[in-house]
Amino acid sequence: MSSLDHEATTRTESAPVDELLGTVFNTPKDLRHSAEQVLGQEFVPTAVEYEDETTADLVLRPAGMPEIHVHAERERHWYPYEITRVDDVER
């Protein structure tokens, strides 16, 4: 594996943590579109595990990758959510 290949692999593997953290979204669909851009995939299934007025826990299921669990928070129910924690989960 060349150093460029290794760098690309490392960047891809760390992309969910490095690039999704701090992402702001209003709806799960908004988050899905951001995840698709960050992960370079056409479609990333997204499921809401928990949501209330100020917090949300969602699961992203990108093809060929472990599930990604995200926790997001917002100060008021009309503010957008901001991702505050991202966890890769091995299947």
Q: List, for residues 57-80, the tens digit of each pLDDT value.
A: 999 999 998 999 999 999 999 999
Q: How many domains does one find in the chain?
A: 1
Task: Give the pTM.
Answer: 0.78
Query: CA-to-CA distance for 13 and 23, rounded, in angstroms?
Result: 17
Pairing of strands 81-89, 55-60: unpaired
Residue 64 is part of which domain span? 3-89
The phi and psi torsions of 48 (rounded to 5 degrees) equal -90, 120
Q: What is the pLDDT of residues 22-44, one digit of tens each?
A: 999 999 999 999 999 999 999 99
